Amino acid sequence: MFTRANYQTAANVILSRTAYQPTVGLILGSGLGGLADAIEVADTIPTTEIPRWPRSTVEGHAGRLVIGRLEGQTVLALQGRVHYYEGYTMQEVTFPVRVMQTLGIKTLFVTNAAGGLNKDYHAGDLMLISDHINLPGLIGHNPLGGPNDNELGSRFPDMTTAYDVAFRQKAHEAAAQAGFTLREGVYVCVSGPSFETPAEIRMLRTLGADAVGMSTAPEVVVARHAGMRVMGVSVVTNIVVDTPGVQQTGLHEEVLATGAQVAPRLIALLRSVLSTLGTA
């Protein structure tokens, strides 16, 4: 179990490496690390140099923090989250969010690569997350399991408004103005790392999910426990196969390639939301 002291030690190392005081956190999903290039006058810290920070083991996840200015805000971007399927506990997976909380970050913008379950979706679509189904959490792998530190948040945090309505409204306006389609739907988190079988895909659809991925929901649970406002965007990198006997190959490569294509649209969404936060 981590304690507040662990988060504070990590936060102190970050603060010793930058003069910035970030107020906005940004978690960049598979193939989306390039978004950090939009951050101006940035300081960069490899996460291997931060005590207790879990190490990224997956291609497409660099493992560094980029801290600087974007749209009048001071942001801290994480390139290279870690996942439950890498063998980390849910507490380790969400360690970066706790460090963000300790740094005083109040807003979290989280992105991921996801498979499209909704039959109207196409590869390359962006989906604003309206709600999530945290499947690992529902069966006992919730990052808030175990003793609760009341200084960090309440024992039974509310999740009914996890994805900020005002941010979503703003993102839709930005997409309309820029002239691209922005989907909105339910993200289901699975533990992975194997992709879903056709039967699992049909099950997830029946549950009411529009996109499936292997991250995000645990981070958002912790961010809400921490009282942060959250916006989540899934990049639909592939349309899932729901028919037995149809083989899909090269999925991870597809995931990484799509991320690079959609970066400009994601940045437009990010900028629009940041511009609502006032001067900082």
Residues in touch with ligand HPA (CB under 6 A): 113-115, 195-196, 212-214, 237-238, 240, 255
Catalytic option among 61, 121, 171, 187: 61
Q: Which of 69, 120, 81 is nearest to 219 (CA)?
A: 81
Instruction: Answer yes or no: 132 catalytic.
Output: no
Q: How many CB atoms lie within 10 A of CB 64?
A: 19
Catalytic option among 215, 225, 263, 272: 215
Q: Which is nearer to ligand HPA, 47 or 237 (CB)?
A: 237
Q: Which is nearer to ligand HPA, 2 or 195 (CB)?
A: 195
Q: Which is nearer to ligand HPA, 125 or 196 (CB)?
A: 196
Instruction: Answer yes or no: 56 catalytic.
Output: no
Burial class of residue 90, CB neighbours in 10 A (0-12, 13-18, 19+)? buried
Q: Which is nearer to ligand HPA, 36 or 114 (CB)?
A: 114
Catalytic option among 11, 71, 83, 225: 83
Instruction: Answer yes or no: 254 catalytic.
Output: no
Instruction: Answer yes or no: 127 catalytic.
Output: no
Q: Which is nearer to ligand HPA, 75 or 188 (CB)?
A: 188
Catalytic option among 86, 92, 196, 219: 86
Q: How many CB atoms lie within 10 A of CB 34?
A: 15
Any idea which residue has 């690992």 for tokens? Answer: 136
Cβ of residue 26: shortest distance to ligand HPA, in angstroms? 19
- 185-209 b/e with 16+ CB inside 10 Å = b? bbbbbbebeebbeeeebbebbeeeb
**What gap in Å lies between CA 14 and CA 49, rounded to an integer?**
9
What angle separates helix 95-103 from helix 217-225, to the nearest 10 degrees? Answer: 30
Instruction: Answer yes or no: 86 catalytic.
Output: yes
Catalytic option among 6, 62, 85, 142: 85
Cβ of residue 244: shortest distance to ligand HPA, in angstroms? 16
List all residues 6 or more positions away from 119 whose beta carbon is below 8 Å from its beta carbon: none
Phi (first) and psi of residue 241, to 5 degrees: -100, 120
Q: Which is nearer to ligand HPA, 26 or 255 (CB)?
A: 255
Instruction: Answer yes or no: 83 catalytic.
Output: yes
Cβ of residue 113: shortest distance to ligand HPA, in angstroms? 4
Q: How many CB atoms lie within 10 A of CB 104?
A: 10
Cβ of residue 246: shortest distance to ligand HPA, in angstroms? 14
Cβ of residue 153: shortest distance to ligand HPA, in angstroms? 28
Cβ of residue 116: shortest distance to ligand HPA, in angstroms? 8
3-state secondary structure (DSSP) of residue 147: coil
**What gap in Å lies between CA 180 and CA 193, rounded to an integer?**
31
Catalytic residues: 30, 61, 83, 85-86, 113, 214-215, 238, 252
